[in-house]
Amino acid sequence: MSLKRFSQSIDGTIPIQALLYDDEELLGSQDNVGIYDGQQKSPRHQSGTAYITSHRLFYVDGPKPDSCSFSIDLSHVSRTDYYAGLFTSSPKVTLYLAGDVSSESNDEHAPSIWECQVCGNHNSPGFSPSAARICGLCGVPRDAADDSTEGSSAPHLSSSLPASGFAGPVQRSSKDPVPCPACTFLNHPSLRTCELCETDLPRRPSRRELQSAPVSRPHSPDNDEEGDPANMLIKVSFRKGGDKAIYGALKTSLNGKVWESKAATVDRGGGNRSVGISGILRTVENSVQERETSMHDALQDLEALMVKAKDMVNLAAELNYKLTAASSTNDEPEEATFIRSSLTQLGLHIDNAPVTQDMTKDERRWHEELARELAKVLQAGLMRDKGIVALDEVWGGWNRARGVALIPPATFLQVIPLLPQYTTPQVSTRKFVSGLTVLHTPPYSASAFSARLAGFLVMHGSRTTLEIALEMELDMEGSNEAGMSVSLCKEMVEDCEREGGVCRDDVGQCAIVGGGGVGVEVRWWPNLFVGYVWDGQSEEDD
Amino acid sequence: MALSTHTTSTGWDSVLKACNKVNEHILGFLLPSIHSAPPFFTQQPNPATEAIVIEQWTKLILSYARHRNLFYLRVEDAETGGDWDEVLRNDRINRRLPPAHLSSILAGMVAKNVASYEPAKQTRSVLLYWRLPEEWAEVLHQWASTTGQMNTIMTFYEITDPPVNSPLTNIPLPLLRKAITILAKSNRAQIIAIADGEGVRFFTPAK
């Protein structure tokens, strides 16, 4: 019974982090727990995960997370007990619950944006109930705003409301029966529908009336159990251990009383700061300043990074210069060659400072300059021993070489078409069906590659894509080019197939032994079918 | 692959031809050299290439059917052993025609009118026209006149299973009926209902 009264059902399919208030903190979790409602096992909550946060205890049911999960506000916990377990009995943590959950406080849990009646600030949902009661900008309590418009007495409000986070529900727990509008049965105040006829009960009367109303013993039978402290508890049973950690987290949470202190802080703040327009203005000013500072910090990091990159480029240039000076006098030592090649591989091999837009005024000339620079980068490093290179790799390599004056992709794409004018052998662009774009030297143009591939296959018999990627360039007379990447090779060969230069032998599909579909590679053949003349049984043979 | 290592400047197809000559003596049917090329069994994604593949398969299937006097080809023949193993598989190069590819070849043959789906309204089995129905009609009429069956009533069974082997032995009834229908159009035959089914009477064409 206590479980039903104090818990609120939640949708356990939502990750727990999404259920937390903005100012709530997850302290610990443990799976394989069961729940006791009072002294009895609660049959619907026997296998799930418990989460302790700074404000609440969550239980997310394992089998039925959407219907059987719940949360309990830790503000209702009056004390706790720890039982270490004995033989087959699991360790348990007992939570004694106190206080009243009025329908009013339940409503406040519903997250909603509310507008402060004093300063007009829109307060976002997601704060814990205690924090949500106070406007984030001017610190005026939400209830106060409501009540004051109704014309209630001011002294009463100021004393009770700012601390309402915890004190409120206790104060409101007067045992005032609510008469049913339909059958006149006097219902327990925490009920929302009539116990007899299930008619919706009217909302509880305002607090002021409550205080003046005579306190009489409630008539709902439910109340008898409520008075029994033995039943006002729930137990969390740890079937697979983890009890100590959770109990520790629970203790921390209960000692911290975040739900109370938050309200208290705001209250104290209200006393110290100058209230009114100037207070609001100061709050706004503070938040703006805060934002500015963090933004400034972030940009500073970026600037530091740029300075470092610039240093790196300068260092590379210096090294290069020294090496050149040294090598002109005598033979280049092995180390120098190594450093030079490392620099090239890092993309830091660039003769002079990168071209930037402020050097040239005309956009067209700027693009031409860039194309000239890119051509140098390509021939010095990226394409020195490769005939074909993917566009993304070029962009990355170029920007690495440029150091700090990075080229945006849009500019890069505008420069690419100018490239053939500045490169020997000509570097042109080619786009595959898959959308992959590459830069390539003449031997890798569609027609040239098709011809070379067909010739290669005729000479060496059928090959898989991998074998083509590895062997084809080695085969070229006087070529010092390394093999191309397998995926690139696949694109090229398939392109060649589309043009009818080669045909495939799908070993996986067609082999009698060792087939079996996936994993067996396609073998490529020269296109045997073009020009094939029937040389089998002729009709005259019959 | 032995094939590629043996291949030198003479080219691979001369080797294959030599293999096939050997094959021919054992099996009595000369397989084309392309049958020993693994890509022949793969469905080629390039439509132009695939068209040649289907063309060559059509030729191979029809000539083999003529050689062995086979009338039906089913997609299942690619999976289960049977009359068609010799062409649909090549154990020497470890290749077989996948059923999906056979199915598309059959569709190509039906489109070219050298086969028809039999029974109709399915695509798993075809009746092969290594002679077109018109040609069968001629063969049938020729046979009837040379064996002196003019103007007599014959049952279908007497045609498909004659005491002396004829070109028409085992001809499937749907094909026979088509041939007779063609003859009937030029008044050279007439379908007659007889006690146990159907019969046919052949006429000498009016001169």
- Among B105, B128, B151, which residue terminates a domain? B128
Given a contact cutoff of 8 angstroms between Cβ atoms, the answer to whether A231 and A42 are in contact is no
Across the interface, whether the CB atoms of A527 and B1 are under 8 A apart is answered no
Q: Check whether residue B140 and residue B121 sit in a common domain.
A: no
Q: Check whether residue A243 and residue A388 sit in a common domain.
A: no
Name the amino acid, one letter, at A410.
Answer: A
Q: What angle, rounded to 10 degrees, do the helices at A446-460 and A486-498 form?
A: 100
Instruction: Answer whether residue A531 is part of any domain.
Output: no
- Residues of A within 8 A of B28 (CB-CB) are none
Query: Is residue B66 less than 8 Å (CB to CB) from chain A?
Result: yes
pLDDT for residue B2 is more than 60: no
Q: How many residues are there in chain B? A: 207
- Residues of A within 8 A of B1 (CB-CB) are 461-462
Query: Is residue B74 less than 8 Å (CB to CB) from chain A?
Result: no
Task: Specify burial of residue B79 (Cβ count, 10 A radius: 0-12, 13-18, 19+).
Answer: middle
Q: Search chain A and give the residue with CA nearest B100.
A: A509
| Closest by Cβ to B98, choosing from A509, A513, A536 | A509
Q: Check whether residue B164 and residue B62 sit in a common domain.
A: no
Task: Please tell me which residue, B8 or B27, carries the higher pLDDT value.
Answer: B27
Q: pLDDT value at position B9?
A: 40
Q: Search chain A and give the residue with CA nearest B97.
A: A510
How many distinct structural domains can be found in chain A? Answer: 3
Chain A contact probe: residue of B15, B19, B20, B95 with most A CBs at under 10 A: B95
Instruction: Answer whether residue A533 is part of any domain.
Output: no
Query: Is residue B2 less than 8 Å (CB to CB) from chain A?
Result: no
- Among A349, A367, A395, which residue terminates a domain? A349
Name the amino acid, one letter, at A35.
Answer: I
Q: Check whether residue B137 and residue B93 sit in a common domain.
A: no
Q: What integer is the mean pLDDT of A441-460?
A: 85
Q: In this predicted model, what pLDDT tens digit does every residue of A136-185 receive, in sequence order? A: 777 777 665 444 444 444 444 444 444 444 444 444 445 678 888 888 88
DSSP code at position B84: T
Instruction: Answer whether residue A509 is part of any domain.
Output: no
Report the distance separating Cα A457 and Cα A297, nearest Å. 61
| Closest by Cβ to B91, choosing from A505, A512, A525 | A512
Task: Specify burial of residue A377 (Cβ count, 10 A radius: 0-12, 13-18, 19+).
Answer: buried
Half-sphere CA count of B15, side-chain side, radius 13 A:
13
Report the distance separating Cα B107 and Cα B104, nearest Å. 5
- Among B96, B128, B160, which residue terminates a domain? B128
- Residues of A within 8 A of B38 (CB-CB) are 462, 505, 507, 510, 523, 525
Q: ipTM score of the complex?
A: 0.75
Q: Could you give the 3-state DSSP secondary structure of residue A534? A: coil
Instruction: Answer whether residue A415 is part of any domain.
Output: yes
User: Which two structure tokens, joined as six digits, stand for B131?
Assistant: 């002679």
Q: Check whether residue B85 and residue B138 sit in a common domain.
A: no
Query: Is residue B196 less than 8 Å (CB to CB) from chain A?
Result: no
User: Which two structure tokens, joined as six digits, stand for B64?
Assistant: 């083999």
| Closest by Cβ to B95, choosing from A461, A512, A528 | A512
Q: Check whether residue A268 and residue A403 sit in a common domain.
A: no
Query: Is residue A450 less than 8 Å (CB to CB) from chain B?
Result: no
Chain mean pLDDT for chain A: 74
Query: Is residue B95 less than 8 Å (CB to CB) from chain A?
Result: yes
Torsion angle of C-alpha atoms A463, A464, A468, A474, degrees rounded to 10: -60
| Closest by Cβ to B89, choosing from A460, A498, A512 | A512
Across the interface, whether the CB atoms of B38 and A507 are under 8 A apart is answered yes
Q: pLDDT value at position B128?
A: 92
pLDDT for residue A222 is more than 80: no
- E-strand ranges in A391-517 read 428-431, 437-440, 463-464, 502-506
| Closest by Cβ to B45, choosing from A497, A512, A532 | A497
| Closest by Cβ to A503, choosing from B32, B44, B98 | B44
> Per-residue confidence at A327, pLDDT binned at 50, 70, 90?
low
Q: Check whether residue A480 and residue A432 sit in a common domain.
A: yes
Name the amino acid, one letter, at A176.
Answer: D
Q: Search chain A and give the residue with CA nearest B98.
A: A510
Across the interface, whether the CB atoms of B95 and A497 are under 8 A apart is answered no
Task: Please tell me which residue, A191 or B128, carries the higher pLDDT value.
Answer: B128
| Closest by Cβ to A504, choosing from B20, B42, B98 | B42
Task: Specify burial of residue B103 (Cβ count, 10 A radius: 0-12, 13-18, 19+).
Answer: middle
- E-strand ranges in chain B read 72-74, 89-90, 95-96, 115-117, 125-128, 153-155, 189-194, 197-202
A positions 49-78 inside 8 Å of B (CB): none
Q: In this predicted model, what pLDDT tens digit does every residue of A368-390 receive, in sequence order? A: 888 888 888 888 777 777 778 88
Q: In this predicted model, what pLDDT tens digit does every residue of A407-419 receive, in sequence order? A: 888 888 888 888 8
Across the interface, whether the CB atoms of A527 and B49 are under 8 A apart is answered yes
Query: Is residue B94 less than 8 Å (CB to CB) from chain A?
Result: yes
Instruction: Answer whether residue A208 is part of any domain.
Output: no
- Domain hosting B194: range is 133-202
| Closest by Cβ to A461, choosing from B7, B32, B49 | B7
pLDDT for residue A277 is more than 60: yes
- Domain hosting A489: range is 357-501
Instruction: State the count of interchain CB pairs (< 8 A) between A and B.
Output: 113
Q: What integer is the mean pLDDT of B124-144?
A: 90
Q: Search chain B and give the residue with CA nearest A523.
A: B39
Largest CA distance in chain B: 70
- Residues of B within 8 A of A541 (CB-CB) are 30, 67
Query: Is residue B17 less than 8 Å (CB to CB) from chain A?
Result: yes
pLDDT for residue A115 is more than 80: no
Q: Check whether residue B50 and residue B122 sit in a common domain.
A: yes
> Per-residue confidence at A105, pLDDT binned at 50, 70, 90?
very low
User: Which two structure tokens, joined as six digits, stand for A336?
Assistant: 């120098």
Report the distance separating Cα B35 and Cα B39, nearest Å. 9
Residue B96 is part of a domain; what is its CATH number?
1.10.10.570
Rounded (5°) CA angle B184-B193-B122: 70
Report the distance separating Cα A242 and Cα A183, nearest Å. 50
Report the distance separating Cα B67 and Cα A540, nearest Å. 11
